[in-house]
Structure 1
Amino acid sequence: MTAYTSDELNAIASAPMTVGMAVAIADMGIISSAIEAVALTKEIVGAGKKYPNNSIVQAVFSEAVLASGKIQRKKPDFRPEDIESGAFVTKAIAAVDLALAAIGDKATPTEITEFKQFVYDCAEAVASAAGSGLFGSGDPKISPAEASALAKIKAGLSI
């Protein structure tokens, strides 16, 4: 397995969390935010099984690594003005860029592509988790604000 420094592992770990949170705050609601947090957690916890041959994912999101608690996944820092201005998506893309810089040439192009897809899947899972209406059960599941955030994230990931 590829050796990453602690800072590199933390940068890689923060990318899907930050992207997921960026989509969640694009269209916040009390119940929907809780549902979206669960969806993000499921994506992150399931990454090791979904990408068993990806050295990036295995280094950060395998069951053993997640259970060890060695990697500190910090909640992204978004301020109210970030929400109003839309800067949260820019911050999320910057977190992805930091993760990709941490990966550098320690992974194959295929692994990097899979990692980018995993990060986008986290964002998409959050956007699709809850809709409008009572308890987030209504349609559409993806609001216009979330769709806009997803489009910017997809462009930022170059996928």
Structure 2
Amino acid sequence: MTDYTQQELEKISEAPMSVGMAVALVDMGIISTAIEAVALSKQLTTVAKKYPGNSIIQSVFSEEVLKSGQIKLQKPNFKPEDVESGAIVDRAIVSAQNALSVVEGKATPEEISQYKEFLYDCADAVANAAGSGLFGTGSNKVSDKEAVALAKIKAELMV
């Protein structure tokens, strides 16, 4: 397993939270955002099983690490003006870039590719978790704003 500093581990853990929350907040609703938060949480807690040989993911999201409390998954500190201006997605992309710069040269290209897939999966799971309408039950799960955010994140991650 690759050794990362505590600060590097925090950057690796922050990126999926930032990407997922950015997608949730571009089209916010009280109920739908709660449903989307659950979808993001599920991605974070099951990714280690999906990528058992990935040193990046295992170093932050393995059951052992999560239970130890060594890494605290924290909600990103987005400002209301970032949400209103749309800069929230740009900030999430910067967070992803920071995490990717940490793992560059420390992880294999395959592991980095899997980590990028995981980041996108977090955004996609959030976008597809709840629709518009009463209690997030609308048939159109991905709003126009979420679709734009997903496209921007996908292009940046090149997944």
Q: What TM-score do the two structures reach when normalised by structure 2? A: 0.98
User: What are the ranges of 5 or more consecutive residues in structure 1 without an aligned counterpart?
Assistant: none
Output the amino acid matched with 2:37. A
User: What are the ranges of 5 or more consecutive residues in structure 2 without an aligned counterpart?
Assistant: none
Report the CA distance between 1:81 and its aligned residue: 1.1
Q: What TM-score do the two structures reach when normalised by structure 1? A: 0.98
Report the CA distance between 1:154 and its aligned residue: 0.6
Instruction: Tell me the number of residue pairs that the alignment of Structure 1 and Structure 2 aligns.
Output: 159
- The aligned runs of 1:110-149 (5 Å cut-off) are 110-149=110-149
2: CA distance, partners of 1:152 / 1:104: 22
User: Which residue of structure 2 aligns with residue 59 of structure 1?
Assistant: 59
2: CA distance, partners of 1:52 / 1:44: 14
Output the amino acid matched with 1:110. E
User: Which residue of structure 2 aligns with residue 105 of structure 1?
Assistant: 105
Aligned-CA RMSD value: 0.7
2: CA distance, partners of 1:67 / 1:147: 34
User: Which residue of structure 2 aligns with residue 75 of structure 1?
Assistant: 75
Identity of aligned residues (%): 62
Output the amino acid matched with 2:128. S
Report the CA distance between 1:158 and its aligned residue: 1.7
The question of whether the paired residues in 1 share the 8 Å contact of 2:130 and 2:137 is answered with yes
User: Which residue of structure 2 aligns with residue 9 of structure 1?
Assistant: 9
Q: Can you list the C-alpha shifts for 1:47-76, whole angstroms capped at 9, x where unaligned? A: 100100111000111111111110122211
Runs of 4+ in structure 1 over 6 Å off: none
